[in-house]
Amino acid sequence: MNPTSLDELCNAVRGAAKIRLVGKGTWAEWCAPSDAQTLSIKQFTGVTDFRPDDLTVTAKAGTSLFELDQVVRAANLCLPFDSRHGPVLAPRLGTLGGLVAMNLPHGSERHNRPVRDWCLGMKLVLASGEVCSVGSQVAKSVSGFDLHRTMAGSRGGLAVIAEVTLRLAPVSRAELGSAVVERDVTGPCWIGRTLRTDFDMVVESTRRQGSLLASDEGTCTIWSTIRMSGAAWQVGPGGVREPLPGAQQSQIERNLKAMLDPESKLVEGRLQ
Amino acid sequence: MVQAESDLVKGLSLVLPPERVLSGSAVRRAYECDAYSVERHHPTAVVLPESTSEVQDVVKWCANAKVPFTARGAGTGLSGGAMPALGGVVVSTKKLNKILEIDVANRCLLAQTGVPNLALTRAVQQHGLHFAPDPSSQSVSTLGGNIAENSGGPHTLKYGVTTQHILGLTTVLASGELLVLGGKAGPDLGYDLASLVIGSEGTLGIVTEAWVRLTPLPRAVETATVCFASVKAASQAVAAVVRAGIVPAALEMIDRFVLDAVASAFTLEFHPDTAAMLLLECDGSPETAHSEMAEALAVCAKFNPVETRLAQDEKERAQLWTARKKGIGAMGRIAPTVVTHDGVIPPSRLPEMLKFVYAVAQRRGLRVGNIFHAGDGNLHPIFCFDDRLHGMIEEVVEAGEEVIRKCLELGGSVSGEHGIGVEKTSLLAEMFDSPSLALQSRIKGVFGAGELCNPCKVVPDAKGCIEHKIRWRGVAT
């Protein structure tokens, strides 16, 4: 299924029994495999509202990050990824929806914050096919619960992110990546975060094993070909997540899923 | 439901030492509202737990007895978030006042949520660190209140609001169960539940402890004031600074009305032709602070300022910030009652928005001042009036609603940092369509929050909120 309009997207979601959302498949290997029917958002594209004077842009989820960046660069703004980084630390090749749904650490996070923080608001399509807005279109808002922040990183398991309003950065912030890349990260890898006090030790032991791909002291993030020991948390290929959440947290995660997707229609690129 | 004061006090005294269960007419009056005093309702009792487990005990007791409960920090909230809308128990965090662990090497600390914002910074500033969110109330407002309201402040323009500075949370849910999220290394990559709890105005549970991120103090800070002969020129300068991609640490605007009040209270000097002043701060390395300030001042210069002044030393800088942070307080010198509104617009619409605010005030015969976070379009019109005059409160409430509706019309938000509380529940319904509002109202259920946990706030659901709304206002008028 390749919907091109919001109506088609809603109908596709409403009519489906079980679906797996995909963009361009950039992050497929970080997700657990699934044989559910795929719903691709990559033809649901376009910038719907660009306000260079307010440093915001609203675009449909299938919009490619490359195109979005081109549009905003014409006004001296950017999605602040560092061009010296490869496609995992600076994900410029996938879709806006994929970027936000994954919310993985990136190489410019120290100066430019996580992707979640760029999201000001969203238009969602719920599993019922209903369209809802969350968040706002302005840089600061405490109006209602920040469900748009929770949607960032939800891996398509809660609702369809149909449209995102992002806060943009001035173009000068694009080259502020603080990650040190040892080897180009092209395929699936482990991405972990350590305490500051453990960072050097984990970097060293990962390096000794020959598995260090990149590291960022600014955010204590490490990219590695194998599972790290000593990380406070990490995610890996196939949607593996460590450590697992506590019982109460799991229960509320399940409640949230049940509230948004009661028939469990949306197959998450699961963190398990 | 346990209603009688004596039953309630007796029951709670089995859970907490009796001296930490307060009741009586003075207590009822002291806790009937927060800094949003337009709407009031008194609690039956107030409890002062000292630990997470005591909060659990109180909440379990309330759940069992079907008594509503409302958490309260310092009571500086500006939308009625800490008002016990349906009575019951106020859970004060006043004695949850300990910093439990300071980890300088990992730049974080664990504190109980009754600790005042500024006390967090005071505890770590000798290590060159601080807690970045800086609401004007920061000398008294608590960490828990900041978390509940997702508080901002002048420096959030660069550093982000409270949610960006919380690494972990311990929340007592409405059932009394504990929800622990994140920790020293921040939240992991599961569903981000912390973002729902932060800013939930105490409707999802009571946050009792939090790991907060500590930010290195900037090595250099430069502060300047730029005065303009018209509000329009000042607001155009703000929009131009934003558009130029300069992100100052703070970019505040103070209009003449507020300047006059502040000047006499805090000896602030400014050019006699000033209609509005911008307070600009840039920080970072000495080179960055200096070059950003030069760039920002160059942009401002295009709008013909009547005066530009760089703070020469720390004393002068502190003086400027005192004027800004105590500015609203100083307004109290000119009128018996001041009401501060809060709304957000895209910064490019500032000139048009401010014109509208002055027009509304003039039409309604109210005096208005503006002192606000211009850089992120977060407006704070302050209406000054005499609440003893018949019909004035209604006039001010309506003026505020007009202003907020204009914010929505310009693509903004009904609140930038004060929250929805009881004040803006109907305006929230104008910001979102009904499916979106319904979605918001279902979040309480996800956390099992029910109708007892800070009822009638954000998205009212408890029975009786509407009839009570009439009664709250009735107390004030």
Q: Over the stretch A41-85, which tens digit does the pLDDT of each residue have?
A: 999 999 999 999 999 999 999 999 999 999 999 999 999 999 889
Q: Which of B91, B69, B65 is nearest to B144 (CA)?
A: B91
What CA–CA distance (Å, rounded) separates B466 from B269?
Answer: 48
A120 Cβ partners below 8 Å, 6+ apart?
Answer: A56, A135, A136, A137, A138, A139, A141, A148, A165, A166, A167
DSSP B247-286: --SEEEEEEHHHHHHHHHHHT----TT-SEEEEEEEEESH
The pLDDT, as a whole number, for residue B477 is 34
Instruction: Please indicate whether residue B199 or residue B339 has the higher confidence score (pLDDT).
Output: B199
Give the residues across from A39 on adjacent strands. Answer: A21
Which tens digits make up the pLDDT trace of B347-356?
999 999 999 9
The pLDDT, as a whole number, for residue B463 is 67
What does the block give as tokens for B5?
């004061």
At B113, the pLDDT band (50, 70, 90 cuts) reads: very high
A with B: how many residue pairs have Cβ under 8 Å apart?
Answer: 197
What does the block give as tokens for B71?
């958490």
**Chain A closest-CA separation from residue B455 CA (Å):** 15
| Length of chain A measured in residues | 272
Q: Which chain B residues are within 8 Å of A117, Cβ to Cβ?
A: 160, 164
**Chain B closest-CA separation from residue A210 CA (Å):** 25
The pLDDT, as a whole number, for residue B401 is 94
The pLDDT, as a whole number, for residue B97 is 98
Residue contact B244–A170, C-beta within 8 A: yes
Q: Count of alpha carbons within 13 Å of B109, Cβ hemisphere only?
A: 26
Q: What is the CA radius of gyration of chain A?
A: 18
The pLDDT, as a whole number, for residue B394 is 87
Q: Which chain A residues are within 8 Å of B412, Cβ to Cβ?
A: 136-138
At B476, the pLDDT band (50, 70, 90 cuts) reads: very low
Residue contact B106–A246, C-beta within 8 A: no
Which tens digits make up the pLDDT trace of B149-206?
999 999 999 999 999 999 999 999 999 999 999 999 998 888 999 999 999 999 999 9
Looking at the complex, does the CB of residue B180 fall below 8 Å from at least one CB of chain A? yes
**Chain B closest-CA separation from residue A112 CA (Å):** 11
Residue contact B440–A144, C-beta within 8 A: yes
Query: Which of B177, B346, B440 is opposite residue A248, by nearest beta carbon?
Result: B177
At B1, the pLDDT band (50, 70, 90 cuts) reads: low
Give the residues across from B205 on adjacent strands. Answer: B173
Pairing of strands A19-22, A37-40: parallel
pLDDT tops 80 at residue B36: yes
ipTM of this complex prediction, to 2 decimal places: 0.97
The H-assigned helical ranges of B92-213 are 117-124, 143-149, 156-159, 194-197
What CA–CA distance (Å, rounded) separates A223 from A203?
Answer: 9
- Tell me the CA end-to-end span of chain A in Å, nearest whole number: 26
What CA–CA distance (Å, rounded) separates B123 from B143?
Answer: 14
B315 phi and psi angles, rounded to 5 deg: -65, -45
Residue contact B195–A126, C-beta within 8 A: no
* Maximum mean pLDDT: which of A66-70, B3-7, B36-40: A66-70
Low-confidence ranges of chain A (pLDDT < 70): 271-272
pLDDT tops 50 at residue B136: yes
What CA–CA distance (Å, rounded) separates B211 from B228?
Answer: 43
CA distances to A166, B282, B301, B310 from B295, in Å: 25, 10, 10, 14
CA distances to A197, B128, B293 from B321, in Å: 35, 20, 17
The pLDDT, as a whole number, for residue B472 is 58
Which tens digits make up the pLDDT trace of A99-125?
999 999 999 999 999 999 999 999 999
Mean pLDDT of chain B, nearest integer: 93
The pLDDT, as a whole number, for residue A172 is 86
Q: Is B367 exposed, middle or buried (0-12, 13-18, 19+ CB in 10 A)?
A: middle
**Chain A closest-CA separation from residue B348 CA (Å):** 6
